[in-house]
Amino acid sequence: MAEAHQAVAFQFTVTPEGIDLQLSHQALTEIYLSVLRSWKKRLIRLKNSVITGVYPASPSSWLFVVIAILATMYTRSDPSMGLIAKIQEHLPVSHSLSAQCQTVLSAVLFSTMLWLSLIFTMRMCLKQLLSYHRWMFEPRGKMTNTTKVWLVCTPIISLTMCSHNYTLRRCSVSKRVSLQYLESVQPLKNPEEFERMTSLAANFESCLGNRLQWYLKLKALWASNYVSDWWEEYIYLRGRGPIMVNSNYYGMDFLYVTPTPLQAARAGNTLHAAFMYRRKLNKEESRVPGTVIPLCAAQCERIFNTTRTPGEETDSVQHWQDSDYVAVYHRGRYFRLRMYSAGRLLSPREVESQVQKILDDPSSPSPGEEKLGALTAGDRIPWAKARKEYFSSGLNKRSLDCIEKAAFFVTLDDDEQGMMGEDPAASLDRYAKSLLHGKCYDRWFDKSFSVVIYKNGKNGLNAEHSWADAPVVAHLWEYVLATDSFQLGYNEEGHCKGEVDSSLARPQRLSWDIPPECQEKIAQSLSIAQALADDVDFHVFSFRDFGKGMIKKFRISPDAFIQLVLQLAYYRDRGAFCLTYEASMTRLFREGRTETVRSCSNESCANIFVCVDHQGAEVCRRLLRQASEKHQSLYRHAMTGAGIDRHLFCLYVVSKYLGVESPFLNEVLSEPWRLSTSQTPVQQVELFDLVNHPEYVSCGGGFGPVADDGYGVSYSIVGENMINFHISCKHSCPQTDSHKYGGLIRQALLDLQLLFCPDQKDPSKADLRQTKKDM
């Protein structure tokens, strides 16, 4: 209990001789340094707020304007054209100041107003500059003069992480989305069904639609984004089912490399790198997550110190300004691991030493502690009730607060994962399932993200979805992986570099008092979560026959090509088309999140029909390019705020607020997405040298199936010759099989390649055997 005594700054005892006061100088020093660090962070936040508030000017530019105006006045000229004199006449303190002081004060006031006017004007110009989206729709190699001027102007804008958010345009409300909707579902419905939907859409447009649209435009006038708050609340926070598998997603480690086999050492570098990223965020030193085009960084504010809190009707997202520790789970016990000592961030070697102390701790879990995390994996209402009844006061509340207020959550897993063993394909599948749900109780699924460190040094993360989308977490994870391997590194024995301060206090073990009634609720949540986890069928594989480099030679968008492959594979699997979801970001707008690309179109279906019917190669190539161009058009419209699904969703929410029913909206919002897809692009290519270190590639990440009878497919295009796929579905559906669908994807890729490379050799027998095995 030494760490408990060190946490007490002073203690006193009453004796017959009086009061005996004992001070702990070490504890007082820690308190002083903690307060000092807290004030430093407050000053940094104040500085960032000032810089962001006056962007695109700088605080020093105000002084420059004041000096320029005063210097001009002393040359006997009036740059204000009489305004300074007018201000001087109306000064409320004119009688108590000399004439010279009045003149100087009036000049300063005029300079300030001029400076603010310039800031407003520059912001308007920047807003127009960043609102220009026509460059997306211009044919390759045919750039207009307007776009050329725009390309010259955009890179010279100096942007920090959040400074440009005020200059981003608000997302406008779309018009007549029903026509676009009808076009998207035409290939999925027979003539009678399509005629019925056309009638419903026309009736909606002529009657209720205009009224709902008016309310939506009214919200768009005052809200930063008319979609995002409703999307977060109704799609994520009001869901009462488990967020494990259904909402959370995961990210993997390097595919072929494990930088160190030591669990504690990998944790040391990983945790230190994550806090380095947080420090860059706090100082707004990180470049905006975009290259030439800045994207909204509002979601980045809640990466750390954030948790999802359960409620009986709706959950909430809580964010704290600062946290100097992480919560760690190992063998059924919870620990508090401080990442700062004497006001400085612990070195990777020191973090490794602290983690090793946790690994070596022989203590046993207290009753109910081992599987406590299952409450976050099960249904939300039982968790909300249990939290209110058993964790709202006393010892349990203090320990729960420690977990929820941590910078993030860490699991030291006793299993070994990664691509290994005699069957590396099956090991990747197990790796994915482990990151997605683990044992259903050894992750804290409510935290913004949880880092998992495996016994063999492999790592990964699991992220909660309500507070941000995958590209934000992927940006963090890319930085962590690259910093771990290329910047921090390890010594010859596999340990972190640096020295250890032997005076560091041990990690604090969290204590719990969980009664039998609560343990029963934990068991109930675990049974629900375990059934859900056991039902998940996962398949992860890397396609290395060709990649982005060859697809570009076909003069086809790589993303469009893969989307057509997924639909061709699905048609071969089920003999029909389905409503297909592809996530597109809308962070070109203020507080934008995502929009849906309905990638199953008339053009894509026509292309698949001719491919299945083995018509001429020239016809297939022509229709494939048409389908690709259509997909690119849909994607560009979604990115620039002209998508339809978020708009339809908001119209539905307004109708519920008004208490009116719309048969059209009810049917649209109830249609299942049997093929839900998402690309995980590599955002910081400069961090990874794939030419000299091709083995340092991540396998990306994935998510669970959206529909009970459908597939969830995440894919990442790595370098020029690799495409990684993460396929999920449910064992309980007899129509879905992730391995079979993976084999069909592989075959569809090879078939479309042969359209453009007819002289390409047939796949080797080994490849064919692998395809049959996958099927």
Residue with tokens 């205009």: 210
CB 643 within 8 A of CB 670: no
Q: How far apart are CA 272 and CA 596, in angstroms?
A: 36
CB 755 within 8 A of CB 628: no
The one catalytic residue among 164, 330, 465, 647: 465
Q: How far apart are CA 441 and CA 429, in angstroms?
A: 20
CB 558 within 8 A of CB 552: yes
Q: Cα 74 to the chain's mean position, in Å?
A: 55
Residue 10 makes CB contacts below 8 A (sequence gap 6+) with 21, 22, 23, 24, 27, 28
What secondary structure letter does DSSP report for 171? P
CB 161 within 8 A of CB 181: no
Q: Is 465 a catalytic residue?
A: yes
Q: How far apart are CA 566 and CA 554, in angstroms?
A: 18
Distances, alpha carbon 69 to alpha carbons 112, 119, 190, 226, in Å: 10, 17, 73, 42
Amino acid at 10: F
Q: How far apart are CA 455 and CA 420, in angstroms?
A: 14
Q: How far apart are CA 332 and CA 129, in angstroms?
A: 54
Q: How far apart are CA 464 and CA 248, in angstroms?
A: 5
| Preceding omega of 56 cis (within 30 degrees of 0) | yes
Residue with tokens 């608000």: 170
Look at residues 371, 399, 159 and name the one whose alpha carbon lies nearest to residue 286: 159
Q: Counting beta carbons within 10 angstroms of the beta carbon of residue 625, is it exposed (0 to 12), middle (13 to 18) or buried (19 or more)?
A: middle
- Where does 54-176 have alpha helices with state H? 59-73, 83-89, 99-130, 145-153
Q: What are the beta bridge partners of residue 336? A: 327, 508
Q: How far apart are CA 433 and CA 9, in angstroms?
A: 46
Report the relative pairing of strands 340-341 and 459-463 from DSSP bridges: unpaired
What Rg do the C-alpha atoms of the chain give, in angstroms?
Answer: 29
Q: How far apart are CA 133 and CA 73, in angstroms?
A: 44
Mind telling me the catalytic residues?
465
